[in-house]
């Protein structure tokens, strides 16, 4: 289950390179809207599963946190920060999930989990930060707020589960549709529509909407149901690893000794942050 869930942040690890290489520059709201809304509407139409009662506002709140808030802030920081700086801020998520879990689930993190979280931050910093990394106050603030919002969404999704009789695919679609719909008026007011979209723009939006969003978040929410919130948050550290490997493969970058050490630390952090009892049961 953990390996399948890790495919979600692995797909998200390609977001930065797709944003910088394929999407129109300087349009974080448009990128967020076209990533969430079309995929959400398509999934809802295919699933044909309706929500009932409290699940309307719960789905709306999760959609706001995961997509209305997280996506624009993520793209905004991607346009203003090097991917390494954004990834380092995002690596705080396991520690933030620990804090939200203590407040909302009455689950207090162990010393091992806190140590693994700090190790993950150090590992990601070694892996992705470079001497040329520039710090932008607005970009850093946006990424921090985005990380806090997603950490809260992980804990709330763990607390609520999913609507009875509704698949994770359908539940994902409703969150995407609600979150994306809320982005439409803000996008039109702040950015308007672009004069044109090229084939590369459309290819980037299509990839992010399908593989990077609809498929990835269905796997992510399914993992939240079956794993602890802390375990899922540590799997999120897979994202900067994939982002770095994508740069090595597609942008002809090289891996330094410090980055190699960071890669090892992140791997140890992910493994150390998983549930030991669950791992032992899975191993028979």
Dump pLDDT digits (tens) for 148-195: 999 999 999 999 988 988 888 899 999 999 999 999 999 999 998 888
Collapsing DSSP to helix, strand or coil, 133 comes out as coil
Q: Are 240 and 123 in contact (CB under 8 A)?
A: no
The answer, yes or no, to whether residue 277 has pLDDT greater than 70, is: no
Query: pLDDT band for position 280 (50/70/90)?
Result: very low
pTM, 2 dp: 0.83
**Domain chopping of the chain, boundaries:** 2-282
The CA distance from 135 to 81, in Å, is 7
Give the model confidence (pLDDT) of 227-261 as tens digits. 888 888 888 888 888 877 776 776 566 667 877 88
CB 186 within 8 A of CB 53: no
What percent of the chain stands above pLDDT 70? 90
Dump pLDDT digits (tens) for 36-63.
Answer: 999 999 999 998 889 999 999 999 999 9
Helix (H) or strand (E) holding 122: helix 111-128
- Token readout for 214 is 């609809």
Give yes or no for a contact between 232 and 5, defined as CB atoms under 8 angstroms apart: yes
Q: Residue 146 and residue 130: Cα distance in Å, rounded?
A: 22
């Amino acid at each position: 289950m953990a390996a399948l869930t890790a495919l979600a942040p692995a797909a998200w690890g390609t977001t930065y390179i797709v944003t910088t290489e394929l999407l129109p520059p300087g349009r974080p709201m448009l990128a967020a809207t076209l990533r969430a809304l079309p995929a959400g509407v398509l999934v809802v139409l295919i699933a044909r599963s309706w929500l009932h009662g409290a699940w309307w506002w719960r789905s709306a709140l999760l959609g706001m946190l995961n997509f209305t808030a997280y996506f624009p802030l993520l793209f905004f920081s991607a346009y203003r920060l090097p991917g390494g700086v954004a990834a380092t801020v995002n690596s705080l998520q396991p520690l933030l999930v620990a804090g939200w879990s203590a407040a909302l689930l009455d689950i207090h993190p162990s010393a091992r989990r806190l140590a693994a979280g700090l190790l993950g931050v150090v590992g990601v910093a070694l892996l992705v930060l470079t001497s040329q990394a520039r710090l932008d106050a607005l970009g850093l603030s946006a990424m921090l707020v985005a990380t806090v919002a997603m950490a809260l969404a992980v804990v709330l999704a763990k607390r609520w589960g999913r609507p009875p009789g509704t698949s994770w695919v359908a539940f994902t679609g409703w969150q995407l549709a609600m979150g994306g719909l809320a982005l439409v008026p803000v996008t039109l007011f702040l950015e308007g529509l672009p004069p044109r979209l090229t084939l590369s723009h459309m290819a980037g939006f299509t990839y992010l909407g399908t593989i990077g969003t609809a498929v990835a978040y269905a796997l992510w929410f399914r993992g939240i149901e079956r794993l602890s919130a802390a375990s899922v948050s540590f799997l999120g550290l897979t994202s900067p690893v994939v982002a770095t490997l994508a740069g090595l493969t597609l942008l002809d970058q090289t891996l330094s000794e410090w980055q190699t050490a960071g890669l090892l630390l992140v791997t140890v952090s992910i493994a150390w942050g998983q549930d030991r009892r669950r791992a032992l049961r899975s191993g028979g």
